[in-house]
Structure 1
Amino acid sequence: MASTSSLPALDASRLSISLTETPFPIPTGKTTTKAHTDHLLIVSWTSTQGWSAPQIVPYRPLSLPPTASVLHYATSCYEGTKLYRGYDGKLRVFRLLDNCRRMKDSATRASMPAPDPNELSKLVKELCRVEGPRWLPSETSKGKFLYIRPTIIGIDADLALHVAKEVLLYVVLVTWPENANSPTAIGDKETLPGFKLWASPEDSVRAWPGGTGNHKVSANYGPALKAHSEAEKNGFDQVLWLHGTDRMVTEAGGSNFFVIWKTKDGVLELVTAPLDSGLILPGITRRSILELARTRFNITSKWELDGRTVLATAVNVEEKDFMIVDLIEASEDGRLLAVFVAGTANFVRPVTEINVHSHSIHIDYDAIPHAALLRKWLADMMYGIEESQWTEVIND
């Protein structure tokens, strides 16, 4: 068998494109996550042949043997990012290379070959270039986006428990409901209702030390759906995942979780859980929020928001562990000023209620403008209102 280092690497220059002759109808009216675009990117890998030549082909179902590794041993990881049509008519991606780097880490954690992030980024942008003009026409789609889902799965037809020897990397683009999860949703209670979170029960965890919670592997999500379903049955939107006997706050659903509060010493803090525990997914939106907050909230400043001038008090930005009792105490003391979640799917979404085993924490939506400002700044970058090194224009 050839050594891994001598096998062909993922190479975007080998890409071939075969365009469909029967494009799908563009959905009208209410969009869903079921509608996909006309093509997909596919490239395979084997332990003896390395990466094949990438292809963009007409969309088609995958064909898998019943004994495929992914179906039995969850050899799968994925990414989520978006293709934006800016208000200037240009297509953009946001920190795509960061997503591709995280996919490399996730694939490695799932014992699959890691695609080179730079080459994967080139391939994703090429698929966006193919699909963007038709699915996000510049004349009618300004301020809209498509969701991008790169995925790697093990496809060995072998029930033996071993590292995947055959994998398939594919990328699809899908539509997304035009609701409050959109970066362009107006920041008021009617169009951007706050999330209601339901604290996880003590017998249920999303991640644990030494596990895979800090990687985007598919096996993280299926087992979490039971608690998510219970939250929805009780009238809540997502689960606030707590960990350990001290009930440490980790994530909310599939999003990173942020709090703005005053410490007992009167210091205003923006706090989120740190990455060193191995429990937290290193979100791209999370990283962007921390970087923006550290540079723009370092001093008290006035900013424009939804046609008015608002005052944003300076905050200390902290990545540190905190417990659910800390949230409860801050709420009871009147020190809890804002809670929000952040991620690719939910973008930046305020939280207005947290239920902790029949104890409710209520958060004032309008107490401070910080979360709304972060949302606005990121959306402005994504849609070309503000120039940013985090975005790349795709010529279509």
Structure 2
Amino acid sequence: MLPCRSIKGHCLNLLWRQKACISSLQSKNVVIRKSEKLKNKPRLEELVFGKFFSDHMLVCDYDDNDGGWKAPQILPFGDFHLSPAITSLHYAIQCFEGMKAYRTSENDIRLFRPDKNVQRMQRTADKLTLPAFDGEEFLKLLKQLLQIDSEWVPHSQEASLYVRPTFISTDPVIGVKHPSKARLFVITGPVGPYYEQKGTELFNSVKLLADPKFVRAWEGGIGAYKAGGNYAPTIQIQREALKRGCQQVLWLYGEDRQMTEAGTMNFFIYWINSDGEKELITAPLDSGLILPGVTRQSVLDMTREWDEFKVTERMVTMPEFMEAANSDRIIEVFGCGTACMIAPIHSILYEGQDIDVPTMTSGAKLSKKLFENLSAIQTGKVEHPWSVSIYN
């Protein structure tokens, strides 16, 4: 054991190193190498989520043994040359974010609450022991990337540019330990709606599979962090949902079958509660089961500002939901997230029984109002502090 004086000196040294590393990610040091051959951009009707990528990417490398953060680079989009031994490939020391850039009618380009995404990535990086970085400097770099690839932001408010920041360990070492090398990078690409649109509806509703044997997250785990390792185990279960005629999975937890999330979305219920009040309700963050979604927080902030009904964060169990459904107290159910924004839910398959949810038959009035209000902010139709220009 180190003596007290040594422990104090060691802690001060760690704090100094962390501060030094944070300050060394500087947007003013960015090196820009533009692509010599620009790609053809897809037509609006060709856009499929996650298929097309823009001309450039942002790359920020870190090496704990060589001064911390290197000069960030904006480079032509392309493959990485990495060792097959890097620990992100073996131990899932990796996290990511999902953001969107929108074009306004005045040809400005806006991000939606990007500070929240950066803060969440910093929080996840800390959980995975990836190196700390200056969020404001990273956001400046992200804006520079978007300015260079601004023409990739669709000239339509029916589409957007998806922005994918990713943070990986690049330590070429087989061994479970905190990384000394890492890469923070951003790729972007134009996208249309996350769920396939049918007809002229504003958006299409989805059906959920609720099976208690499938668990996404657990107390004391990392379900509240946007780590890549949270997602791979859900793919096989998503395939099972599709086999049963459902588009997504409603993740239940515990013996009381708490309703936590829907696929990769946060989950909301709008109902008449047992006291006869209209109430919008979603699972709280204190359990550690729920990802703190930016759209989730925006829905809570917006509806609380409206003050039209009660807004509550607490767990709802499947038996409680069933009782409300049987009593005709459910008004709407929807999921929300960056990719889909608002996804109304029309049915839940639970223990072999289809539970009809009256979201669409009742007109999905709240879902549509939220979708329209959030869209208006994102696309600059309504000026709001949540909408941030890439040129500021």
> Is the shorter-chain TM-score for this pair beyond 0.5, marking a shared fold?
yes
Structure number with higher helix proportion = 2
What CA distance in whole angstroms lies between the structure 2 residues aligned with 1:44 and 1:389? 31
Q: 1:159 aligns with which of 174, 181, 186?
A: 174
Aligned residue type for 2:207 = K
Compute the displacement of 1:178 (Å).
4.2
The match for 2:206 is: 195
Give 3-state SS (helix, strand or coil) of 1:158's partner: coil
Aligned residue type for 1:390 = W
Q: 1:371 aligns with which of 340, 361, 367?
A: 367
Give 3-state SS (helix, strand or coil) of 2:256's partner: coil
Query: Over the residues paired in the alignment, what is the CA RMSD in angstroms?
Result: 1.9
Per mean C-alpha deviation after superposition, the further-off stretch among 4-13 and 335-344 is 4-13
What CA distance in whole angstroms lies between the structure 2 residues aligned with 1:161 and 1:363? 46
What CA distance in whole angstroms lies between the structure 1 residues aligned with 2:209 and 2:291? 20
The match for 2:260 is: 250
CA contact (8 A) 1:78 1:218 kept: yes
Per mean C-alpha deviation after superposition, the further-off stretch among 24-33 and 381-390 is 24-33
The match for 1:144 is: 159
**Superposed CA offset, 1:59-113 (max 9, x none):** 1101221111011000000000001011232110000011000000010111111
How is 1:43-122 mapped onto 2 (pairs within 5 angstroms)?
43-48=60-65, 49-122=67-140
The match for 2:350 is: 356
Compute the displacement of 1:175 (Å).
2.1
Aligned residue type for 1:246 = D
What CA distance in whole angstroms lies between the structure 2 residues aligned with 1:339 and 1:26? 37
Q: What fraction of aligned residue pairs are identical, expressed as a percent?
A: 35
How is 1:189-268 mapped onto 2 (pairs within 5 angstroms)?
190-202=201-213, 204-268=214-278
**Superposed CA offset, 1:219-270 (max 9, x none):** 0000111111100111111100000111101000100000011112211110
Compute the displacement of 1:5 (Å).
3.4
The match for 2:141 is: 123
What CA distance in whole angstroms lies between the structure 1 residues aligned with 2:116 and 2:32? 25
Residues 384/58 of structure 1: CA separation in 2 closer, same or farther (3 Å cut): same
Compute the displacement of 1:200 (Å).
3.1
Residues 248/179 of structure 1: CA separation in 2 closer, same or farther (3 Å cut): closer
What CA distance in whole angstroms lies between the structure 1 residues aligned with 2:32 and 2:20? 26
**Superposed CA offset, 1:360-389 (max 9, x none):** 211221425112111110000001111100
The match for 1:177 is: 192
The match for 1:5 is: 19
Poorly superposed stretches of 4+, deviation over 2 Å: 1-9, 140-144, 177-181, 188-191
Give 3-state SS (helix, strand or coil) of 2:124's partner: helix
Give 3-state SS (helix, strand or coil) of 2:101's partner: strand
Give yes or no for the alignment of 1:39 onto 2:56: yes
The number of residues matched between the two structures is: 372
Give 3-state SS (helix, strand or coil) of 1:175's partner: strand
What CA distance in whole angstroms lies between the structure 1 residues aligned with 2:220 and 2:140? 32
What CA distance in whole angstroms lies between the structure 2 residues aligned with 1:389 and 1:5? 29
What CA distance in whole angstroms lies between the structure 2 residues aligned with 1:327 and 1:271? 11
Which TM-score applies when normalising by structure 1? Answer: 0.90
Give yes or no for the alignment of 1:384 onto 2:380: yes
What CA distance in whole angstroms lies between the structure 1 residues aligned with 2:285 and 2:200? 32
